[in-house]
Structure 1
Amino acid sequence: MSARFYDPDGTRFGTPTYPWRLAPPGLLTRRQLRAMGLRPGGQRVAAQVMWRSRRYGAGVRVAYLYRRDLARPVRPMTPAKWRALARANAARRTCPDCGQDPGYIPARALGCCNTCARALHPAA
């Protein structure tokens, strides 16, 4: 066990802290709750998991944990939300240069669909 991140009473980090994979049962991340069809439901962060990571600049990552017994079911999507999501996705797929929907989301690096990018830079 990594004693560096073990602080179950929260004196060092301000909130109860556990090392990677050592959180007590009943405490879950948002993703774990979502996989069960639940959401935090307005509750405060109950604890956190900290671990060392070489992949990110600071070297320490944090995941917040929520109590499963206080979690609420995910709200179902209403027809209005489905329509709004469809409009947002259609706007993302629309090429800003030609105004067409190429059937995919144009790459940000190009700034337009592949057809327009080839027309602008034929040698590339």
Structure 2
Amino acid sequence: MSRPRFWDPAGERFGIPTFPWRMAPDGYLTRRQLRARGLRPNGQPVTAQVLWRSRKSKDVRAAYLYRPELAAPVRPMTPARVVALAAANRARRTCPACSRDAGYVLPAHLGCCLHCHYGDPLAA
């Protein structure tokens, strides 16, 4: 049996240890897995990667892996960050055409709320 295409645990071909999809050894975590544990990479370099070929686009995709023992706890939200995040989300929901809060994130391809783009369906 041949070895998988992206199997390079020594990092000779890709520069860093590289593993195929679902074959990374224990002791490495992605950013999402770190976040789920309440951690952040803490400035450490990428220590390994998982490579796979996307079925949809046929591109080679990568997931970067970090060492959890070098990670640090996630910084807590400060009151100023809470205010800034609320303002950013409010801006994503505010229609530039009618200046109303739509109650949902406006579709980027429309550029305005559904009411302004399609009109009032009950008015006809």
Please give the TM-score of this superposition, normalised by the length of structure 1. 0.88
Please give the TM-score of this superposition, normalised by the length of structure 2. 0.88
Report the CA distance between 1:110 and its aligned residue: 2.4
Report the CA distance between 1:112 and its aligned residue: 1.2
RMSD: 2.0
Report the CA distance between 1:114 and its aligned residue: 2.0
Aligned residue number for residue 18 of structure 1: 19
Rounded to whole Å, the distance in 2 between the matches of 1:109 and 1:61 is: 26
Gaps of 5+ in 2: none
Aligned residue number for residue 47 of structure 2: 46
| 1:13 counterpart letter in structure 2 | F
Aligned length: 121
Runs of 4+ in 1 over 3 A off after TM superposition: none
Report the CA distance between 1:52 and its aligned residue: 2.1
Alignment of 1:20-39 (within 5 A): 20-39=21-40
Report the CA distance between 1:2 and its aligned residue: 4.5
Alignment of 1:80-91 (within 5 A): 80-91=80-91
Identical-pair percentage: 63
